[in-house]
Amino acid sequence: MSDLKSKFLEVYTALKSELLSDPDFKFTDDASEWVEKMLDYNVPGGKLNRGLSVIDSYILLKEGRELTSEEIFETSSLGWCVEWLQAYFLVLDDIMDGSHTRRGRECWFRLPKVGMIAVNDGILLRNHIPRILKNHFRGKPYYIDLLELFNEVEFQTASGQMIDLITTLVGEKDLSRYSLPLHRRIVQYKTAYYSFYLPVACALLMAGENLDNHVNVKNILIDMGIYFQVQDDYLDCFADPEVLGKVIGTDIQDFKCSWLVVKALELCNEEQKKLLHENYGKGNSACVANVKALYNDLKLEDVYLEYEEKTYEKLMNSIDAQPSKTVQEVLKSFLEKIYKRQK
């Protein structure tokens, strides 16, 4: 494991201890034990890309100068705030989506002892973020900006989740509403802001930058986030479940406005469209298999590979048009991390 990653994980342990001795709540042994288990189950088990990106971006912004131990602790803490936010979203999203597995294990709410306590655990995870920020950033000139950033991004993500959910309302299932612009709108809000813009924005604030001066960076990161979610949609259907860590394919059953179904609607003939309308969004495995067979007939894997190449090229061109070499490096390091990802 890289040195930075092991330091990052040490900071998790430190932040967890602080939260478990929060002066605003008297912890009993039961309560500590619950929160500790809940955190260990939901916060650190992912790829940690978002959290580590805060540190990576900050290092690049500091142009390779070695970070002080204070800077390492602070960038790591902000990285963990992003991971906490993600944990909060995923615990609740898995309930809403009726998912079974996440990161290679049962979803938290599926554990017999947990059930709907998971809803409150999600709220707790969310509340831990301002606790961490207060403990470590209250004296910083950018404290208010950080709080506002997390608030803004949470609002955008919940709004994206809302449009994701209401497009799948039972009784109003209407595939003809699904289009690339709707897909873009959903994923921009539910994924791109918190996964791509937020980590870089945290690093920029720590480096003393004003976020209003980085609108172009934001737009490129949003486009990268959209590309990332197209990958997610593709992997939901085509990935190796062993590699991905979650059971393949709730998107078809859940009637999701996935990039795949949008592309299928664009490419299909009348007969195939009828098949799609009859089989999409049904729990029954024969219907799911029919949809997947149609995706194969339409060669969606190839369509995806072509999309991936083109998007990479376009993003690289916009990055190269950025005036600052340092900013270019931050953006490129992000893009390289996700290009052709398998999980």
Question: What are the residues binding ligand GPP (CB under 6 A)?
Answer: 89-90, 92-93, 97, 99, 157-158, 161, 190, 232, 236
Smallest gap, in angstroms, from Cβ of residue 274 to ligand GPP?
Answer: 27
Q: Which stretch, 43-51, 85-93, 191-199, 204-212, contacts Mg ion (CB under 5 A)?
A: 85-93
* CA atoms in the 13 A half-sphere facing the CB of 271: 3
123 binds, among ligand GPP, Mg ion, none (CB under 5 to 8 A by kind): none
Residue whose beta carbon is closest to Mg ion: 97
For residue 256, is it left (φ>0), alpha (ψ between -120 and 50) or beta? beta
Q: What number of other Cβ atoms are within 10 A of residue 117's Cβ?
A: 15
Q: What number of other Cβ atoms are within 10 A of residue 6's Cβ?
A: 9
Segment holding 263, helix H or strand E: helix 259-267
> Of 208 and 283, which CB lies nearer to ligand GPP in the complex structure?
283
Whether 9 and 92 have beta carbons less than 8 Å apart is answered as no
> Of 31 and 247, which CB lies nearer to ligand GPP in the complex structure?
247
> Of 250 and 333, which CB lies nearer to Mg ion in the complex structure?
250
Radius of gyration over alpha carbons of the chain, in Å? 21
> Of 191 and 322, which CB lies nearer to ligand GPP in the complex structure?
191
Q: Give the chain's length.
A: 343
Most distant CA atoms of the chain, gap in Å: 64
Smallest gap, in angstroms, from Cβ of residue 39 to Mg ion?
Answer: 21
Whether 286 and 274 have beta carbons less than 8 Å apart is answered as no
Whether 109 and 94 have beta carbons less than 8 Å apart is answered as yes
Residue 138 amino acid letter: R
114 binds, among ligand GPP, Mg ion, none (CB under 5 to 8 A by kind): none
Q: Which of residues 15-74 bind Mg ion (CB under 5 A)?
A: none
263 binds, among Mg ion, ligand GPP, none (CB under 5 to 8 A by kind): none
Can you tell me the distance from the alpha carbon of 100 to that of 197, in angstroms, rounded to the nearest whole number?
29
Can you tell me the distance from the alpha carbon of 72 to that of 268, in angstroms, rounded to the nearest whole number?
52
> Helical H runs in 62-142?
69-97, 117-137
> Of 186 and 198, which CB lies nearer to Mg ion in the complex structure?
186
157 binds, among ligand GPP, Mg ion, none (CB under 5 to 8 A by kind): ligand GPP
Smallest gap, in angstroms, from Cβ of residue 43 to Mg ion?
Answer: 17
92 binds, among ligand GPP, Mg ion, none (CB under 5 to 8 A by kind): ligand GPP
Number of residues that bind Mg ion (CB under 5 A): 2
| Block residue for tokens 């609108």 | 215
80 binds, among ligand GPP, Mg ion, none (CB under 5 to 8 A by kind): none
Whether 167 and 182 have beta carbons less than 8 Å apart is answered as yes
106 - beta bridge partners?
A: 101
First CA to last CA across the chain, in angstroms? 19
> Of 255 and 334, which CB lies nearer to Mg ion in the complex structure?
255
89 binds, among ligand GPP, Mg ion, none (CB under 5 to 8 A by kind): ligand GPP
Burial label, 230 (beta-carbon count in 10 A; 0-12, 13-18, 19+): buried
Q: Which of residues 91-130 bind Mg ion (CB under 5 A)?
A: 93, 97
Smallest gap, in angstroms, from Cβ of residue 256 to Mg ion?
Answer: 8
Smallest gap, in angstroms, from Cβ of residue 233 to ligand GPP?
Answer: 8
144 binds, among Mg ion, ligand GPP, none (CB under 5 to 8 A by kind): none
> Of 251 and 329, which CB lies nearer to ligand GPP in the complex structure?
251
| Block residue for tokens 């500590």 | 32
> Of 165 and 316, which CB lies nearer to ligand GPP in the complex structure?
165
43 binds, among Mg ion, ligand GPP, none (CB under 5 to 8 A by kind): none
> Of 97 and 145, which CB lies nearer to Mg ion in the complex structure?
97
Q: Name the site residues for Mg ion (rule: CB under 5 A).
A: 93, 97
